Amino acid sequence: MQTTHVSSSILGNEIIKPVYSEHGTMLIKKGTVINNDVLSKLLSHNVDVVYVMNALKNNIKEEGILSEREMNKSVASIKKVFDDVMYQEKLGIKSVIPNENLKLVEEVLALLIETLEQADQILYTVVDLLQTDEYTYKHNVNVAILSILTARALAYKKEDIKHIALGALLHDIGKMKISPILINKPSSLTVEERIEVEKHAQFGYEITETVPQIPFLSKQIIRLHHEKLDGSGYPLGLKGIEIPEYVKIVTVCDMYDAMTTNRIYRSKMPIYKALEHLMTESVFKIDPKIYRILTSNICMFPPGSGVVLSDGRIGVVTQFRHASPSRPSVKVLNLQGQKNYLEVEDVNLELNRTLFIKDTWDIDLFNQISKNAMD
């Protein structure tokens, strides 16, 4: 099973998990073979990703914390809340969050907290975000999930975790007051454009400032989530202990999620690279303790990911163990040209200490090549 981007390249594949609309009604049944009609339906409902049968990942269990349906519903609620702000901005009226939208946010919050309470500490995958239009909404839900896990591991009280999650869910709401052309710009921003985009933190604070149902702690997260320990952040350029710990949690989760996600201007980084990058790039900028907690809760090589071993052989991860995050079990493959492969052996890296993972490879790319070769 694999998730794959909805495009004409998935024609002929079998859907193996039902697809729901943004309102939670079923669009495509499990077992449906994708033909042109099915594809048009998926595209017209802006479905980004579907699960299809993939022989390479057969019998490998990929786990997500939220079901696809729960994730879609949560993202649809956040989209409604955010889009209403954008609409008010277009009309030139002061942005507010009406009570009915606060209720939607409250429902998403309750779902995330309840689901994560029952979940294992390890985060296998956060939903992969391919459609950049939807990026801001999904990113906010992902950051809320990561922040709940991190705050919980730091032994925060339930009430505080809820307020941190609320801040994370709304942290980029201020982006709705900034031109989408700038937010989705594929090339790098000019200095003026960057200054404009950076205003989103303060804008977000202004939108929520007068809402009594949103606690101060959550409003601080919205305002300060781009502050950095060395004072290089914005909007206030706060330093070190001037930044509350609950804000730093959301900052680290925000940076991590942004790095591991496909964006219009670059494709996503493998998780282990994003984590290395986050640490080296941010030595003086982010809190190392929070970074450590986040990394211990993320599966670096999720089952189903392609890896390259130190002896040059390639394989697919079959099992991840929390105790040895860099030493999963791997099904070693022998690629026969660009479209076939043989399974050579199963290697448990926890037992085989002469090998290690030196890189990752993109299974989806292999599937794309082999499909093209067969066409």
Query: Given the rule CB under 5 A, which residues bind Fe ion?
Result: 172
Smallest distance, Fe ion to C-beta of residue 135, A: 12
DSSP 92: T
Cβ–Cβ under 8 Å, residues 81 and 95: no
Choice between 172 and 227, CB closer to Fe ion = 172
CB of 336 to Fe ion, least distance (A): 46
Q: Which is nearer to Fe ion, 11 or 182 (CB)?
A: 182
Range 83-91, long-range pairs (CB < 8 A, 24+ positions): 83/176, 85/173, 85/176, 85/177, 85/207, 86/176, 86/177, 89/176, 89/177
- Rg for the chain (alpha carbons), in Å? 21
How far apart are the C-alpha atoms of 267 and 98, rounded to whole Å? 36
Nearer of residues 6 and 229 to Fe ion, judged by Cβ: 229
Q: Minimum CB separation from Fe ion for residue 160, in Å? A: 21
* Closest residue to Fe ion: CB criterion: 172
Neighbour count for residue 184 (Cβ, 10 Å): 14
Q: How far is the CB of 174 from Fe ion (least distance, A)?
A: 8
Which of residues 20 and 234 has its CB atom nearest to Fe ion in the complex? 234
d(CA 109, CA 119) in angstroms, rounded, equals 15
172: nearest Cα among 145, 195, 146, 205 = 205
For Fe ion, give the closer residue by CB, 262 or 348.
262
Taking the least distance from each CB to Fe ion, the nearer of 10 and 221 is 221
Contact status, residue 125 vs residue 145, Cβ threshold 8 Å: no
- Smallest distance from the beta carbon of 126 to Fe ion, in angstroms? 17
In the complex, least distance from residue 225 CB atom to Fe ion, rounded to whole angstroms = 6
